[in-house]
């Protein structure tokens, strides 16, 4: 929701501001991010900033919107009709696109992480009220479809499973990349496979029927 003035800016200047903001908000969570530093890094006047954006939160919303837009762009074409896909393929693709996004846009990914980290819960709620239902609900829907199709076991707790998936997908950007060879996309994708594998079949060595009581 930047003001028109921002969009009327010459492309180059707009970009400069955008990147200064990216730098600041990817390093600091919302409250600690400093508009002072942003305007200094961007080389614009303090007053100018407030002509482009309502306030600090307005800038933040703008960045978050960018995250959403860009993240969607990383979805593969076949995901346009997600429910034609096999459930696990869909999850795999979501995870893979998440990894690719984080790899190509590490700063945006950091911002996303701060936002999700619920140290920012109040900021999050204020900003996300219009985006309600995002997040866990999507995974629940996917799993429900999978269950209907018979891909997913009928006896699991869907909420828990969706919670599972949500937690994992949120962790993909930062901790995951830090930990698992962040430079090499091929390796990261193998780790995604490992994840899916565990998700599908669990980690127990025993079959379900012989163990389940």
d(CA 36, CA 34) in angstroms, rounded, equals 5
Binding-site member from 4, 11, 129, 207 for a second copy (CB under 8 A) = 207
Residue 33's binding partner out of DNA, a second copy, none, with CB under 5 to 8 Å set by partner kind:
DNA
Please identify, using beta-carbon distances, which residue of 4 and 209 lies nearer to DNA. Answer: 4
- C-alpha distance from residue 183 to each of 94, 99, 104, 112, 186 (Å): 20, 11, 11, 20, 9
- C-alpha distance from residue 198 to each of 92, 97, 194 (Å): 12, 19, 6
Please identify, using beta-carbon distances, which residue of 56 and 100 lies nearer to DNA. Answer: 56
Q: Which residues bind DNA (CB under 7 A)?
A: 3-5, 8-9, 13, 33-37, 44-52, 55-57
204 interacts with a second copy by CB under 8 A: yes
Question: Among 66-74, 77-85, 100-108, 152-160, which window interacts with a second copy (CB under 8 A)?
Answer: 152-160
d(CA 98, CA 72) in angstroms, rounded, equals 10
163 interacts with a second copy by CB under 8 A: yes
Binding mask 27-46 for a second copy (x = CB under 8 A): -xx-xx--------------
Contacts of 35 (CB under 8 A, 6+ apart): 46, 49, 56, 59
């Amino acid at each position: 929701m930047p003001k028109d003035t921002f969009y009327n800016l010459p492309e180059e200047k707009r970009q400069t501001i955008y990147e200064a903001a990216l730098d600041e908000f990817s390093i600091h969570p919302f409250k600690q991010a400093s508009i002072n530093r942003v305007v200094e890094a961007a080389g614009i006047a303090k007053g100018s900033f407030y002509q482009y954006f309502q306030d600090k939160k307005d800038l933040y919303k703008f960045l978050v919107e960018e995250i959403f837009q860009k993240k969607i762009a990383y979805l593969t074409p076949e995901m346009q009709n997600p429910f034609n896909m096999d459930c696990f393929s869909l999850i795999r693709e979501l995870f893979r696109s998440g990894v690719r996004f984080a790899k190509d846009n590490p700063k945006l990914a950091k911002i996303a992480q701060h936002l999700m980290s619920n140290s920012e819960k109040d900021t999050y709620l204020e900003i996300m009220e219009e985006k309600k239902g995002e997040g866990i609900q999507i995974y629940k829907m996917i799993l429900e479809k999978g269950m209907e199709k018979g891909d997913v076991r009928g006896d699991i707790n869907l909420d828990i499973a969706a919670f599972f998936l949500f937690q994992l997908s949120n962790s993909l950007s930062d901790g995951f990349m830090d930990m698992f060879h962040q430079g090499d996309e091929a390796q990261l994708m193998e780790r995604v496979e490992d994840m899916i594998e565990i998700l599908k079949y669990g980690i127990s060595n025993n079959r379900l029927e012989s163990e389940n009581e």
